[in-house]
Amino acid sequence: MLNVHQLIVAIWQVIGIVWLLGALRLKPGATVSPTPGRVLEIGVLVCAGMLLFSQSPRSPILNAPFLVPGTVTDTLGVALTVAGAAIAIVARLYLAGNWSAMAAVRQGHEIVRSGPYAWVRHPIYSGGLLAAVGTAIAFGEVRDLIALPLISFGFWLKSRSEEQLLLQELGADYAAYRRQVPSAIVPFLL
């Protein structure tokens, strides 16, 4: 029987498997955004991931609980992680061959306006953020709480570089989509 920690890790592993399988069917690359900002994006997200999934460094402050562990926090954490993973996976499937690990416009790139893309422009980040919130609740340590603003900042940085490239390459079509779907990551907020 899996414990909550193992279950959460398994959910994140499913996301990774979907990403790896999806990477086998990508459209050819075309225009990629410049890399200087990528170092900061990747660095912030790696630090957040290390806080969320690693117990190093061990510290009385980082490892202190911020929530009382128990059935309620475990159930809520797993439910939010599953919901976030589902949103990210569905968004990834809708994006199909247009997806890229870095900001890129692929040959024959299409602006996806259906499914979760009708609600937010970057639903993969929305799902990832929700899954991270669930993970932080389930794990319940201060380190997990610290990871959340880092993940938010990392996704915000990535979405900004993607937005700039998409506006540059797709012009008026992407500008119209931004007007149609004003929220980038969190519906009605961000």
Q: What is the pLDDT of residue 16?
A: 96
For residue 91, being part of any structural domain is answered with: yes
The distance from CA 60 to its chain's CA centroid, rounded to whole angstroms, is 29
pLDDT of 118-136, one tens digit each?
Answer: 999 999 999 999 999 999 9
Q: How far apart are the C-alpha atoms of 134 and 111, rounded to whole Å?
A: 30
Nearest Cα to Cα of residue 99 among 18, 34, 44: 18
Give the mean pLDDT of the chain: 92
Cα angle 158-28-95, degrees, rounded to a multiple of 5 = 50
The distance from CA 129 to its chain's CA centroid, rounded to whole angstroms, is 5
DSSP code for 24 = G
For residue 186, being part of any structural domain is answered with: no
Domain count, the chain: 1
Which tokens hold the place of 119?
């609600």
Q: What is the pLDDT of residue 1?
A: 65
Longest dimension (CA), the chain: 53
Q: Where are the beta strands (DSSP E) in the chain?
A: 29-32, 104-106
For residue 20, being part of any structural domain is answered with: no
For residue 14, being part of any structural domain is answered with: no
Domain that holds residue 137: 37-97+110-180
pLDDT band at residue 164 under the 50/70/90 scheme: very high
Q: How far apart are the C-alpha atoms of 20 and 65, rounded to whole Å?
A: 34
For residue 124, being part of any structural domain is answered with: yes
For residue 12, being part of any structural domain is answered with: no
For residue 120, being part of any structural domain is answered with: yes
For residue 141, being part of any structural domain is answered with: yes
| Entry pTM | 0.93
